[in-house]
């Protein structure tokens, strides 16, 4: 089984007839078989909500496999996540995955949210532990009446309804993991509990992702592991966030963004180029599906998808 999978991914690489990743150039043929999904923050309060809907409407014509909406572990935006997911489901323009965290919440609160999502027609949940609320001291502590970790949440959701469950994984290790073996064991627990797909934390070291994928396959993990791609526009902020997430930031990125601190336009052009190169390099190594952390910046993701051969269809997109 595992050998079969390795064999297949190797065959994918050679059968594309693409040059090796280090020789990929803009002249390489455009992929024709790329699948994408997009992650959005829930609508901001008041007039800020328009930005969310405009971002979604710009990207839905690219026929994503699904769009996902993040969930504030702290609680502030949870109703907005649910409301936006319900509106999108009503529009029937795209499949919707709602993120759902269990940190700091009782099982009954989490279950109730999942059931409200199901009542709105939702089936796909991105099940996460979440982080301790801002300002809390010491290491993560499960809620006394809550699901302790994402694997417990997945098991609970599976008992609750017929959900498709995606989970998170970390190619360079979650900051609380002791090792990559530990990381793979955590992912296995979530799969044993019922997860059928994983999306990775964002990364810039493409080799680290490929090594992680190979180790996961060797460990018998067969579910799709979809790379999470973050187009970086605010490099300074991304760097400090990456440190907290356990994502390494290669020196070449410092060099690329150096001197652009006050030049947002150039940073956005660089961001588009870096993310599309990253995807094209992954594609050349057999990866066909990408999940974009859009940060509700639709134009960047639209341009990156264009570079990947993902083009709009002509379906109507008005959802709000
Ligand atoms: C694709 C993606 C989407 C995300 N979306 C959101 C979002 O919408 N909202 C949000 O708040 N956060 C989100 N996050 C962040 C996520 O909540 C944090 O990274 C969180 O710290 C870990 O969540 P998890 O589901 O990976 O946790 P888990 O899978 O539970 O694991 C986290 C760590 O806990 C430890 N652990 C796991 N199981 C056990 C056990 N049984 N015993 C002891 N230790 C254990 C391990 O060290 C593991 O690395 C997202 C992350 C990703 C990659």
Q: Does residue 4 have a pLDDT over 80?
A: no
φ, ψ for residue 262, nearest 5 deg: -105, 20
Give me the pLDDT at residue 13, please: 43
Kindly state if the Cβ of 186 falls inside 6 Å of ligand 1.
yes
Any residues with CB less than 8 A from the CB of 40 and at least 6 apart, and which?
A: 52, 55, 56, 67, 68, 69, 70, 84, 294, 296
Mean pLDDT lowest among 71-80, 242-251, 282-291: 71-80
Kindly state if the Cβ of 42 falls inside 6 Å of ligand 1.
no
Distance 207 CA to ligand 1 centre (A): 22
Q: Kindly state the tokens that stand for 203.
A: 């990364």
Give me the pLDDT at residue 3, please: 43
Residue 74: pLDDT band by 50, 70, 90 thresholds? low
Give me the pLDDT at residue 1, please: 40
Distance 293 CA to ligand 1 centre (A): 16
Distance 172 CA to ligand 1 centre (A): 14
Distance 317 CA to ligand 1 centre (A): 33
pTM, two decimals, is 0.91
Mean pLDDT lowest among 94-103, 136-145, 263-272: 136-145
- Is the Cα torsion angle 135, 52, 303, 276 positive or negative in sign? positive
Kindly state if the Cβ of 149 falls inside 6 Å of ligand 1.
yes
- Relative to the CA of 74, which ligand 1 atom is closest? 11
Residue 317: pLDDT band by 50, 70, 90 thresholds? low
Residue 319: pLDDT band by 50, 70, 90 thresholds? low
pLDDT tens-digit map of 155-196: 999 999 999 999 999 999 999 999 999 999 999 999 999 999
Domains, the chain, with CATH or none: 30-132+142-307 (3.20.20.220)
Site to probe by mutation for ligand 1, drawn from 168, 176, 194 as the one with most ligand atoms within 8 Å of Cβ, is 168
Residue 139: pLDDT band by 50, 70, 90 thresholds? confident
Task: Identify which of 125, 53, 119 has the alpha carbon closest to the alpha carbon of residue 96.
Answer: 125
The mean of the pLDDT values for the chain is: 89
List, by residue number, the catalytic residues.
39
- Relative to the CA of 149, which ligand 1 atom is closest? 30
Number of other CB atoms surrounding residue 270 within 10 Å: 19
User: What is the rounded end-to-end Cα distance, in angstroms, of the chain?
Assistant: 45
Task: Identify which of 213, 216, 223 has the alpha carbon closest to the alpha carbon of residue 167.
Answer: 223
Q: Does residue 11 have a pLDDT over 80?
A: no
pLDDT tens-digit map of 255-279: 999 999 999 999 999 999 999 999 9
Give me the pLDDT at residue 187, please: 98
């Amino acid at each position: 089984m595992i050998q079969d999978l390795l064999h297949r991914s190797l065959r994918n690489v050679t059968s594309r007839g693409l040059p090796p990743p280090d020789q990929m150039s803009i002249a390489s043929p455009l992929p024709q078989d790329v699948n994408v999904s997009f992650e959005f923050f829930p609508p901001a309060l008041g007039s800020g909500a328009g930005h969310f809907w405009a971002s979604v409407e710009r990207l839905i014509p690219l026929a994503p496999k699904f769009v996902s909406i993040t969930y504030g572990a702290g609680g502030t935006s949870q109703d907005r996540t649910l409301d936006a997911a319900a509106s999108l489901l009503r529009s029937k323009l795209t499949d919707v995955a709602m993120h759902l965290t269990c940190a700091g919440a009782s099982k009954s609160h989490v279950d109730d949210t999942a059931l409200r999502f199901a009542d709105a027609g939702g089936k796909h949940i991105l099940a996460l532990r979440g982080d301790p609320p801002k300002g809390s001291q010491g290491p993560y502590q499960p809620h006394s009446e809550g699901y302790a970790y994402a694997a417990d949440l997945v098991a609970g959701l599976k008992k609750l309804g017929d959900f498709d469950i995606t989970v998170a994984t970390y190619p360079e290790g979650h900051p609380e993991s002791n090792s990559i073996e530990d990381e793979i064991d955590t992912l296995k627990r979530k799969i044993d509990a019922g997860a059928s797909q994983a999306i990775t934390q964002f990364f810039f070291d493409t080799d680290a992702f490929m090594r992680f994928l190979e180790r996961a396959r060797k460990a018998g993990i067969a579910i799709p592991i979809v790379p999470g791609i973050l187009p970086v526009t605010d490099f300074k902020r991304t760097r400090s966030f990456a440190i907290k997430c356990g994502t390494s930031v290669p020196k070449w990125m410092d060099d690329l963004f150096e001197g652009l601190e006050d030049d947002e336009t150039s940073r956005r052009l660089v961001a588009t180029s870096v993310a599309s190169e990253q995807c094209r390099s992954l594609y050349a190594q057999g990866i066909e599906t990408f999940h974009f952390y859009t940060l509700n910046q639709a134009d960047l993701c639209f341009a990156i998808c264009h570079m990947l051969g993902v083009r709009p269809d002509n379906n109507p997109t008005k959802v709000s």
